[in-house]
Amino acid sequence: MTDTSPTIVKRTLPRRLPNSAYRVREYLTEKEVDRLIEAARKRGRNGQRDAAVILLAYRHGLPAKELCSLRWAQIDLRHGRLHVNRAKGGQESVHPLHGPELRALRPLQGPSPYVFITEAGTPVTTAWFLRMVQRTGKAAKLPFQVHPHMLRHSTGYKLANQGEDTRSLAHYLGHRNLQSTARYTALAPDRFAGFWKD
């Protein structure tokens, strides 16, 4: 006979450590993103697609869900435009597509309404995107573990360091609240450039 009486032992899940325990920062530098794209290009049969996914995520600050659900109807290759449909009630916008993105997207055109698809012809998933970025980060020999949202943070930091104003940056990333965008300008090294006149 099995004892089915209740126990008074409290079981808890192990606590997740803060992000700083896993990596030194939550964004990648432009050179690290380039290494990631190059490593993706060289990995496996779908290197061209994987490199394009990382490039678009970085250049347009797209979170995984928006990237995986991206459709050809949102892209105008002829005029170089990307209509960004934001998830979570973010602000929709139209981004310009430049040479690198256009060159990465054109070879991917096919019969599917989705831009990024699997070999079976189905849209890629956010779980696939996570695994692909993690594996590509290891292949690129980055010194810390990489996750997809780091590409969005990298966009914010790159544009803030470039001197873009907070309101434009917030609209580009689809933030409704400027507080979400302020984190990028807080780490811009140029904001303190005029403090000391030597």
CATH number assigned to the domain comprising residue 97: 1.10.443.10
Q: What is the pLDDT of residues 140-152, one digit of tens each?
A: 999 989 999 999 9
Query: How large is the average pLDDT for residues 176-192?
Result: 69
Give residue 19's pLDDT band: very low, low, confident or very high (50, 70, 90): low
Least confident of 19-23, 59-63, 93-97, 177-181: 19-23
Q: What is the tally of structural domains in the chain?
A: 1
Question: In this predicted structure, what is the pLDDT of residue 170?
Answer: 86
Average pLDDT rounded to a whole number, residues 173-184: 76
Query: Which comes out higher in pLDDT, residue 159 or 184?
Result: 159
Whether 32 is in a domain gets the answer yes
What per-residue confidence (pLDDT) applies to 58? Answer: 95
The tokens of 163 are what?
């001197």
User: How sure is the predictor about 169, in pLDDT bands with cuts at 50, 70 and 90?
Assistant: confident
158 is a domain residue: yes
| Average pLDDT over every residue of 171-195 | 72
- Residue 196 pLDDT level (bands cut at 50, 70, 90): low
The tens digit of pLDDT for each residue in 109-148 reads 999 999 999 999 999 999 999 999 999 999 999 998 999 9
Q: Is 198 contained in some domain?
A: no
CA distances to 11, 110, 139 from 66, in Å: 37, 20, 25
8 A C-beta contact, residue 70 and residue 129 = no
Helix/strand/coil (H/E/C) assignment for every residue in the chain: CCCCCCCCCCCCCCCCCCHHHCCCCCCCCHHHHHHHHHHHHHCCCCHHHHHHHHHHHHHHCCCHHHHHCCEHHHEECCCCEEEECCCCCCCCEEEECCHHHHHHHHHHCCCCCECCECCCCCECCHHHHHHHHHHHHHHCCCCCCCCCHHHHHHHHHHHHHCCCCHHHHHHHHCCCCHHHHHHHHHCCHHHHCCCCCC
Instruction: With respect to residue 45, please indicate whether it lies within any of the assigned structural domains.
Output: yes
Supply the range of the domain harboring residue 174. Answer: 25-183
Q: Is residue 36 part of a domain?
A: yes
Does 15 map to a domain?
no
Of residues 53 and 156, more confidence is placed in 53
pLDDT at 192: 59
Q: Quick check: is 157 in a domain?
A: yes
Residue 68 lies in a domain: yes
- List pLDDT tens digits, range 50-104: 999 999 999 999 999 999 999 999 999 999 999 998 877 777 889 999 999 999 9
% of the chain residues with pLDDT over 70: 87
